[in-house]
Amino acid sequence: MTGKHAGKAWLGVCLASLLTACSQGNGFSDLDKFMADTRAKPRGHVEPLPEFKAYEAFSYSAADRRAPFEPPVDVQLTMVDEEPISDVEPDLDRPREVLENFDLKSLAMVGTLQGVEGNLFALIRDSAGGIHRVRTGNYMGQNYGRIVGVSETRIELIEIVPNGRGGWVERPRSLSLDEG
């Protein structure tokens, strides 16, 4: 067994000497020359960092004033103390009519009919394409519009709309004959 170990040791010594012999050549001369040339070149100049202004804290001085989206305080106080101008309000207990389900802009007057007794009826087309017969006293539109007059070419009505202060106000409207 000592012979086997001696052979392995001898093989290891031969390999080490072979590697040592190969490494002593001038195989890195081009790399050494490149490094020397690079070190000999003038070095670049790096610009210094720019000067920054120091942060100045902003003091908000309007914090004790009213918010810009709220009405002024004096308007709020006058709205509370103000009494309703009129006693107009819609009759919410009466049954609603069919044409009150449509916006007045979607209704069109398409003609008139005269009854046996001389009563004048207006023909109204709704946005669904239906035709309805109305006369003075009927209601139409979503703002509690009551018909106060029917003529050959137009319907006069009074709408009851909110006034923005908790009350109601009457607004006259008319619907003219659609010639198309």
**Structural domain boundaries enclosing 123:** 98-176
Count the residues in the chain. Answer: 180
DSSP code of residue 177: B
**Rounded to whole angstroms, how far apart are CA atoms 141 and 139?**
7
- Domain count for the chain, please give it: 1
Determine phi and psi for 143, rounding to 5 degrees: -110, 40
Closest by CA to 118, choosing from 132, 136, 97, 99, is: 136
Q: Is the dihedral of CA 174, 175, 177, 179 positive or negative?
A: positive
Find the CATH number of the domain harbouring 138.
Answer: 2.30.30.830
Provide the whole-model pTM: 0.52
For residue 141, is it within any domain?
yes
Asked, for residue 117, whether it belongs to a domain, the answer is yes
Q: Is residue 67 part of a domain?
A: no
Report yes or no on 154 lying in a domain: yes
Paired strand residues for 159: 171
In angstroms, the Cα distances linking 8 to 31, 36, 50, 162 are 37, 44, 68, 110
Beta bridge partners, 109, equal 124, 177
Say if 161 falls within a structural domain: yes
In a domain? residue 133:
yes
Residue 127 lies in a domain: yes
Report pLDDT for 75. 53
**pLDDT at site 119:** 86
Query: Is 149 inside a domain boundary?
Result: yes
**H or E element at residue 111:** strand 108-114
Q: What is the mean pLDDT of each run of 10 residues along the chain (180 residues)?
A: 76 76 68 89 86 84 78 57 69 91 91 88 91 93 92 92 86 84
